[in-house]
Amino acid sequence: MGQKTSTAVLEAVNTMTGAAFPTKDPLDAAGTCVFDDKVMAEKLPAAVLKRFQDCLISGDPTTEEDQKIIADTLYEWARERGCIDFAHWFFPLRGGGGAVGGMLGAFKQDTLLDLDFASKYVTKPMKACLPAERLFQGETDGSSFPNGGLR
């Protein structure tokens, strides 16, 4: 179904039902809000970006201080756009190793909420945040798969 057909179908459904489905194809917006190299260059301190890029090339771990700066910057950028969750699409080294339907790639979604572990209460309240350790968590073992391994 092409863009014009999709739009026409949505408009017809809206007319017949009185619903308010968006008449624009949601796929038109795909990839428009990505925290990519260009955005990082605009938002991150230059020294942090340089060290992060060096780590990506060398394979060295990003320092905890830089991880926190990157996570906090990403969180603020995302909230400015109304985001409440985030996801990553990844491709484990073991092809089709447990992903639904034997796919080679997988998708993991997470929220911009976490427990407030600093709270004095036994039942910890929720707080809006993006902890750096959640953003920089490696999953090379495929532990996000339903039959995944140890983390």
Q: Percent of the chain scored above 90 by pLDDT?
A: 38
Which tokens go with 113? 């909420």
CA 82-84-69 angle, 5° bins:
90
Residue in the block written with tokens 């700066």: 69
Confidence label for 150 from pLDDT (cuts 50, 70 and 90):
very low
pLDDT tens track for 46-76: 999 999 999 999 989 999 999 999 999 999 9
Asked if residues 132 and 67 have their Cβ atoms less than 8 Å apart, the reply is: yes
Most distant pair of Cα atoms in the chain: their distance: 58
Lowest mean pLDDT among 26-30, 97-101, 134-138: 97-101
pLDDT tens track for 30-45: 777 888 999 999 999 9
The beta strands (E) that lie in 33-128 are given as 85-90, 106-111, 113-115, 126-128
Confidence label for 103 from pLDDT (cuts 50, 70 and 90):
low
